[in-house]
Chains A and B, each alone.
Chain A
């Protein structure tokens, strides 16, 4: 089976090389047959990689420990589910997973455009194949997941890190990858457009949904990563500016900039070069991110692979830069804007500022993440950049961005007049200021960053509600509908606009969660069985210290009960624990236990214990508002689903499912993601 898998990879290499060449040659010779065969080549690549992926999963499932990758990442005692998903547990498999997903996206894109955008396809397809060839070559010569032991294969595997045996870790990498790789397709189309010279709105129209799908997967992937860290790593937070996290955050920033600036090209034929630049940057950042996390270039607590594939990635990044920027310069004449900025008080300008800020953020995060590596290369000294460095910069940047989210959508295209400004902003501004005063004098918040965040959240929410309110009222009056019908028609008539607003509301809700961090509390305390401690609005009592063994691991559990402070009203039991696995030998994990509520989480970690003295050392934390981060993600996904669904006009025009393919794929997978999230919370 392993040889078969390897052979499949070799065949993929051959077929993808052929497909790329056929696409270009066919285009130049105007050969319909070659063009068609290239299209089928894309499907063949998808088929081959699907088989190769299945082969690898099969090897995991049948415990074939003669395969090094399988031996390294699984063992007999693992549940079937985790065996199968170990597929993407390590470097080599995740490369295979990566190309496989790319081939899925590619096949869908080619199918969807089978009789549209004819002129864009050849070069786009060729670009896609070059990327495929790169990854497949990397696997064949450097990171072969099908490599076997020459002799004396072990009879059992080393097992997967228990930290990774967690539902989030099963769903998190695929989500991130779907997002990462999703950006490959728009990038290929951008290159296709540049190479062909057809630089009008066409390629963007073809790609808008892809970008949204890629964007939402990346967003959800990022959040799931945070959720995993919060649940599993036990330090009580979800984001630490770790290079692995930053790697996914960087393309998210440029990608978010892109989905906004394309709207300007759509409406006003401006920012053409800028949009191309953004999509190229986004793709480059996904490559850079993969290189950083997969090659050990940057030190990280996640401790991923250290290997020499970094060099190859570096080469490929340089190649991508040369080709992309070369093409941009070559086409610079055709990219000149057809209209200019008319006023600073216009949506175009708001988008421009939005872009600057997102780009500044992306630049900063990239710089700070790479800083230790750069510094070492220059001075030979090793230095570490702490989270406080990131926070000092990113908090103000985030707040400005949040503020603009309230301003931008309310400005008109071209130029907003004084009257419209007054009409749009009077109420939200008053609500925002009143909210701020209420927070200071009513709630007594003095932490200025949190105060700013919360006040801006109030302001932005009121702009969003105002939009919904006015639209609904308008329909109720003009069409005589009831409030509910009016709201529904309003949203379905302009899904993009209102979907965007719901996404923005999701961002606001997430910021509430971020702001909550300023109020967190933490205590480390040794407790004897029977003793109580107070933290925030909770009393926590240690009831018992339990020692158990289930064959796979030994477990020490601190059984505790949480009470409302100063009362005997029980709020439920919490059972933080420490597990020591037999396999991999000596691996221990900390099992966090938490009580969730909308206003805060009580988060308990068993830091140490003494069986004889019957004491446990507990780390207690209260994290206010954290759940808003996850809640905001829900709104993000709902807003996305609204925005991505084709408008009614489009649906009529196409009358087939074809145009909706990416939307459907996106929605289905998202539904799955939501389900996992929901399950995780029960």
Chain B
């Protein structure tokens, strides 16, 4: 191989690897890139382990627990574990308090399945920066498996 070609190839390889490496480092440096998901029962039982760690927590909104401070977007509600999918049965009747400030999706209501992203606080509550909610399975999700279709 002529030397000039070798140089060209080495140069392009360096650029590509360098750019890729830079991007990779850049992505990994961002805290919001990868967030672990934890079911509510795991968080309820092992609260201390999650202190100061950004997680996504999944569960159901406990009935009649949604409180909204009048004239604001400050929500507080209780999240309970998803029955039937629990690793820690002792968390069955327990809930965790979640605080969230912001606009909630239309699907956010009693019994809705929610995924909240945020951190467990030293006082045992969960402060969410992001909230996703799914209707209590009125649409597609349940139909196939439960034969209501």
| Interfacial residues, chain A to chain B (CB-CB below 8 A) | 68-69, 72, 90-91, 147, 158, 161, 234, 296, 301, 303-308, 344, 381-386, 388-389, 392-393, 396, 524, 526, 578, 584, 586-590, 605, 607-608, 610, 613, 615, 617, 619
Query: Which residues from chain B contact A158 at a C-beta distance below 8 Å?
Result: 138
Does B83 touch A at the CB level, under 8 Å? no
Query: Which residues from chain B contact A605 at a C-beta distance below 8 Å?
Result: 103
Within 8 A of A (CB), among B115-143: 117, 132, 134-135, 138-141, 143
The answer to whether B71 and A615 have CB atoms under 8 Å apart is: yes
Given A305-B144, A306-B145, 11 more A-B residue pairs with CB atoms under 8 Å apart are A91-B140, A381-B36, A382-B37, A382-B56, A384-B34, A385-B34, A392-B30, A393-B27, A608-B73, A613-B70, A615-B71
Q: State the CA gap A234–B106 with chains docked (Å).
A: 10
- Nearest-neighbor residue (CB-CB) of A585 within chain B: B138
Q: State the CA gap A524–B104 with chains docked (Å).
A: 12
Within 8 A of A (CB), among B1-30: 8, 19, 23, 26-27, 30
**B131 to nearest A CB, angstroms?**
11
The answer to whether A526 and B71 have CB atoms under 8 Å apart is: yes
Query: Which residues from chain B contact A90 at a C-beta distance below 8 Å?
Result: 140
Interface residue from A526, A584, A589 paired with B72 (Cβ < 8 Å): A526
Q: State the CA gap A432–B103 with chains docked (Å).
A: 41
Within 8 A of A (CB), among B86-121: 102-104, 106, 109, 117
Which 3 A-B pairs give the minimum distances between C-beta atoms? A382-B37, A307-B144, A607-B103
The answer to whether A306 and B144 have CB atoms under 8 Å apart is: yes
Query: Which residues from chain A contact B30 at a C-beta distance below 8 Å?
Result: 388-389, 392
Q: State the CA gap A385–B117 with chains docked (Å).
A: 12
* Highest count of chain B CB atoms <10 Å: which of A147, A307, A308, A392: A392
The answer to whether B134 and A147 have CB atoms under 8 Å apart is: no
- Nearest-neighbor residue (CB-CB) of B103 within chain A: A607
Does B64 touch A at the CB level, under 8 Å? no
Interface residue from B36, B139, B143 paired with A382 (Cβ < 8 Å): B36
The answer to whether B26 and A392 have CB atoms under 8 Å apart is: yes
The answer to whether A383 and B37 have CB atoms under 8 Å apart is: yes
Does B68 touch A at the CB level, under 8 Å? yes
Known A590-B106, A619-B103; contact A307-B145, beta-carbon cutoff 8 A: yes
Query: Which residues from chain B contact A384 at a C-beta distance below 8 Å?
Result: 34-37, 56, 117
Does B32 touch A at the CB level, under 8 Å? yes
The answer to whether B149 and A589 have CB atoms under 8 Å apart is: no
Q: State the CA gap A90–B140 with chains docked (Å).
A: 8
Q: State the CA gap A147–B30 with chains docked (Å).
A: 49
Query: Which residues from chain A contact B27 at a C-beta distance below 8 Å?
Result: 388-389, 392-393
Interface residue from A72, A301, A388, A589 paired with B106 (Cβ < 8 Å): A589
Q: State the CA gap A584–B19 with chains docked (Å).
A: 50
**B28 to nearest A CB, angstroms?**
9
The answer to whether A303 and B145 have CB atoms under 8 Å apart is: no
- Nearest-neighbor residue (CB-CB) of A236 within chain B: B103
Q: State the CA gap A526–B103 with chains docked (Å).
A: 12
The answer to whether B138 and A584 have CB atoms under 8 Å apart is: yes
The answer to whether A392 and B140 have CB atoms under 8 Å apart is: no
The answer to whether B140 and A524 have CB atoms under 8 Å apart is: no
Q: State the CA gap A613–B56 with chains docked (Å).
A: 35
The answer to whether A396 and B23 have CB atoms under 8 Å apart is: yes
Chain B 67-80, CB-CB to A under 8 Å as 1, else 0, gives 01011110000000
Query: Which residues from chain B contact A578 at a C-beta distance below 8 Å?
Result: 106
Known A161-B139, A301-B132, A605-B103; contact A388-B73, beta-carbon cutoff 8 A: no
The answer to whether B140 and A306 have CB atoms under 8 Å apart is: yes
The answer to whether A588 and B73 have CB atoms under 8 Å apart is: no
**13 residue pairs from A and B, CB less than 8 Å apart:** A72-B143, A303-B140, A303-B141, A306-B140, A307-B145, A382-B38, A384-B36, A386-B34, A396-B23, A526-B71, A578-B106, A588-B106, A607-B73
